[in-house]
Amino acid sequence: MSDVYQNYVAGKWIDSTSGKTFVNVNPADAGDLIGHFQDSSREDAEAAIVAARDAAAGWRALSAPGRGRLLAAAARIIERDMDRIAGGLTREEGKTLAEAKAETARAVQIFDYFAGEGRRLSGETTPSEFERTLLYTVREPLGVVGLITPWNFPVAIPAWKLAPALVSGNTVVLKPASAAPLTALNIVRALEEAGLPGGALNFVTGAGTVVGQELAANAAVAGVSFTGSDAVGAGIYACVSGRGGKAQCEMGGKNPIIVLEDADLAKAVDLSINGAMWSTGQKCTATSRAIVHEDVAGDYTARLLERVAAIKVGNGMDPETQVGPLIDEAQLNKVLAYIAAGRDEGAKLAAGGGRMTAAPLDRGFFVEPTVFVDVKSEMLIAREEIFGPVLAVIAVRGFEEAIQVANSVRFGLSASICTRDISRAMEFADRIQAGLVHVNSPTVGAEVQVPFGGMKASSTGTREQGRVAVDFYTQIKTVYLEY
Ligand code: UN1
C-alpha cells in the first residue's frame, strides 16, 4: 500500500468523512503510484470553512509584520526542502527537475516578497474638507478565502495565492488540483512547521465539483481565487459573484509571438521554443501562435523545425530531458484532438503530431513537440487554448495584420514581439490586448514583484502578484476622525 495523505483542518491531519481516496500517479510512468489522497465530501469542505472562520479573529489580531515573519520562516523551510519538494513535483506533474527547482525557488521568492508586504500594507491619509479632521484609509482582510489551484504550477500558484491571502490577515481553505496535490501538501507542511496557527490554513483535496463547488457556494467564504480552465472559471465567477462574494479567476491564453522582418531570428526561435515547448506547453502563458512576417517566415520556420527536431522528450527526472509528458490521458487525448482538427482544417503539419509510444515512453502520456505551418487565423488551432507543445505558425503581410491577428482571439493574457524597431515595439505595447506584454522576451514567466493577469476572457477580478495582489484579499475602510 502506498502512502495515504490526509486533509489538514483546524491544525490537524484528518481523513475525509467519505472514507474514500483517489490516486495520484506519475504522468511519465502511469505505473508509478505516488499516493492516495482524500476524496473529500461537501461536509469536509464545510468543516474546513468553519475551522477557517473560527480562526479568523485570532489570525487577524496578529500584527501584519508578525504574519509576514511566518511567511519568511516558511520560505526558509521550502528552501531547505527544495530538492524533496521539486522531486515530488516532477514525479507528480512531469515537468523537468530543472523546471521544478526553478518553480520551487520562485515560491521561496513569493513568500519572501509577501513577508515584506506585512510591513507595507498601508492605506492613505488625505486632507479633509472639514477642519480638525483626520481622513484616512486602512486595509482589512476579507475573512475566509477559498483558493483553488491548478496542477501545472503546483508550487508557485498555491504560493502566490496563499502568501498575499495570509499576510493580509485572511484565513484560507486551499483546494489543490487532484493531478498534483502532493506539492501543495508540502507547502502546507512548511507553513505548519513555520508555526502557522491551527485553522489559519486548511487543506482539502478532492473533486472540483464537490470541494471547489462548496467553496464557491458557501456564504461564509468571502472571496475565491481560482486558476484553471476558462469553462470552470466562468462557473466559479458566476457562482461567487452571484452571492455577493469576491472572485478572481485566472484562466486561459492563446498567446502570440509576433516576429517582424527586422527581428533577430535566432532569438525569435529561441523565445518561441521556450514559450511553446518547455513545460510541455502546459502554461496559461505558453506561446501557441507564431505570427511571422512573410518575408522571414521561411527562414524562421526552417530554424524552428531544426530546433524542434532536436528536442529531447522523456521523464523529467532524466537530466537530459527537455520536455516531459502531458499531465494525464484526458489531456493527451485533448491535445491529439486539436492536432487532428488542425490537419482537418488544412494546416500543414511540419513537425510531430503523434503520441510517443516507444518504450519507456509508452508508460506515460507523451506527445511529440508539434508545429503547424500555413495556419489561418480562423482555424481552431489558432483560436482555442491547446495546453500542449503545439505551435501554429501564421504568416502575415506586415505589422498591421500581425496586430489584427494577435488581437482576434477571445483571450488576452500574454503577448510578445520580436523586433529591433523601438517605435513598432511601443505601438505593439499600446495596441495589443494582453495583460502581459513582452518585447524580445518570451510570453512565459512572471516576476513576483509585478502584477500578473490578463484581459478579455483570460482573467476576471484584480491582478495577482506584485503589490496589487493584496487588492483582492483586502477591503478598504475609510475613517473620518474629528478631533
Ligand atoms: C509562468 O509563465 O511562468 O497557470 C507563469 C499558468 C499561469 C502561470 C504562468 N497562471 O500557467
pLDDT at 202 over 80: yes
**What's the CA-to-centroid distance between 445 and ligand 1, angstroms?**
7
Supply the residue whose CA is at minimum distance from atom 1 of ligand 1. Answer: 445
Quick one: average pLDDT of 257-261?
98
CA 216 to chain centre: 19
What range does the domain containing 395 cover? 255-447
Interacting residues of 248 by C-beta distance below 8 A, sequence separation 6+: 223, 224, 225, 226, 459, 460, 461, 462, 464, 472
Which of 183, 230, 285 has most ligand 1 atoms within 8 Å of CB, for mutation? Answer: 285
Q: How confident is the model at residue 2 (pLDDT cuts 50, 70, 90)?
A: confident
Give the DSSP letter string of 139-155. Answer: EEE-SEEEEE--SSSTT
Q: Which three cell numbers stand for residue 351?
A: 513537425
**What's the CA-to-centroid distance between 48 and ligand 1, angstroms?**
28
Phi, psi for residue 103 in degrees, rounded to 5: -70, -40
- Examine residue 312 and state whether it is found in any structural domain, yes or no: yes
- Examine residue 59 and state whether it is found in any structural domain, yes or no: yes
- Examine residue 452 and state whether it is found in any structural domain, yes or no: no
Please list every protein residue whose CB sits less than 6 Å from any atom of ligand 1: 150, 152-153, 157, 227, 250, 283-285, 444-446
Quick one: pLDDT at residue 129?
97
Give the DSSP letter string of 47-72. Answer: HHHHHHHHHHHHHHHS-HHHHHHHHH
Quick one: pLDDT at residue 461?
85
Domain tally for the chain? Answer: 2
**What's the CA-to-centroid distance between 283 and ligand 1, angstroms?**
5
Phi-psi region of 145 (alpha: psi -120 to 50; beta: other; left: phi over 0): beta
- Examine residue 35 and state whether it is found in any structural domain, yes or no: yes
Asked if residue 80 and residue 132 are part of one domain, the reply reads yes
Asked if residue 478 and residue 365 are part of one domain, the reply reads no
**What's the CA-to-centroid distance between 384 and ligand 1, angstroms?**
17
Percent of the chain with pLDDT over 70: 100
Catalytic residue among 99, 117, 214, 284: 284
- Examine residue 453 and state whether it is found in any structural domain, yes or no: no
Residue 1 has a CB neighbour count (10 Å cut-off) of 6
Supply the residue whose CA is at minimum distance from atom 4 of ligand 1. Answer: 284
Asked if residue 370 and residue 223 are part of one domain, the reply reads no
Question: Where residue 193 sits, what CATH number does that domain have?
Answer: 3.40.605.10
Residue type, 311: I
Asked if residue 367 and residue 293 are part of one domain, the reply reads yes
Q: Which three cell numbers stand for residue 53?
A: 472562520
**What's the CA-to-centroid distance between 451 and ligand 1, angstroms?**
12
Catalytic residue among 192, 250, 368, 464: 250
Interacting residues of 220 by C-beta distance below 8 A, sequence separation 6+: 49, 50, 53, 143, 144
- Examine residue 308 and state whether it is found in any structural domain, yes or no: yes
* Ligand 1 atom index nearest CA of 464: 10
Pairing of strands 171-175, 201-203: parallel
* Residue carrying C-alpha cell 472639514: 130
Asked if residue 270 and residue 242 are part of one domain, the reply reads no
**What own/partner pairs with CB < 8 Å and gap ≥ 24 does 339-346 have?**
339/370, 339/381, 339/390, 341/379, 341/380, 341/381, 342/372, 342/375, 342/379, 342/380, 342/381, 342/390, 342/392, 345/376, 345/379, 345/380, 345/381, 346/374, 346/376, 346/379
Q: pLDDT (tens digit, 9 = 90+) per residue, 316-343?
A: 999 999 999 999 999 999 999 999 999 9
Interacting residues of 114 by C-beta distance below 8 A, sequence separation 6+: 68, 71, 163, 164, 166, 167, 469
Q: pLDDT (tens digit, 9 = 90+) per residue, 105-162?
A: 999 999 999 999 999 999 999 999 999 999 999 999 999 999 999 999 999 999 999 9
Distance between CA atoms of residues 332 and 330, nearest Å? 5
For the beta sheet containing 474-482, the strands, ordered from the edge strand earlier in sequence to the opposite edge, are 125-126, 133-141, 474-482
Asked if residue 211 and residue 142 are part of one domain, the reply reads yes
Q: pLDDT (tens digit, 9 = 90+) per residue, 5-37?
A: 999 999 999 999 999 999 999 999 999 999 999
Percent of the chain with pLDDT over 90: 99
Question: Where residue 376 sits, what CATH number does that domain have?
Answer: 3.40.309.10
Pairing of strands 436-439, 414-418: parallel
345 has catalytic annotation: no
Q: pLDDT (tens digit, 9 = 90+) per residue, 151-182?
A: 999 999 999 999 999 999 999 999 999 999 99
Asked if residue 437 and residue 375 are part of one domain, the reply reads yes
Q: Which three cell numbers stand for residue 430?
A: 499600446
Supply the residue whose CA is at minimum distance from atom 7 of ligand 1. Answer: 284
Residue 360 has a CB neighbour count (10 Å cut-off) of 11
Closest CA to 192 of 230, 222, 227, 166: 166
**What's the CA-to-centroid distance between 348 and ligand 1, angstroms?**
29
284 has catalytic annotation: yes
- Examine residue 454 and state whether it is found in any structural domain, yes or no: no
Which of 96, 104, 283, 465 has most ligand 1 atoms within 8 Å of CB, for mutation? Answer: 283
- Examine residue 51 and state whether it is found in any structural domain, yes or no: yes
Asked if residue 28 and residue 62 are part of one domain, the reply reads yes
Asked if residue 198 and residue 331 are part of one domain, the reply reads no
Structural contact between residues 246 and 221, judged by C-beta atoms closer than 8 angstroms: no
Quick one: average pLDDT of 51-66?
98
* Ligand 1 atom index nearest CA of 284: 11
Asked if residue 246 and residue 259 are part of one domain, the reply reads no
Asked if residue 476 and residue 434 are part of one domain, the reply reads no
Q: Which three cell numbers stand for residue 347?
A: 494546416
Asked if residue 156 and residue 57 are part of one domain, the reply reads yes
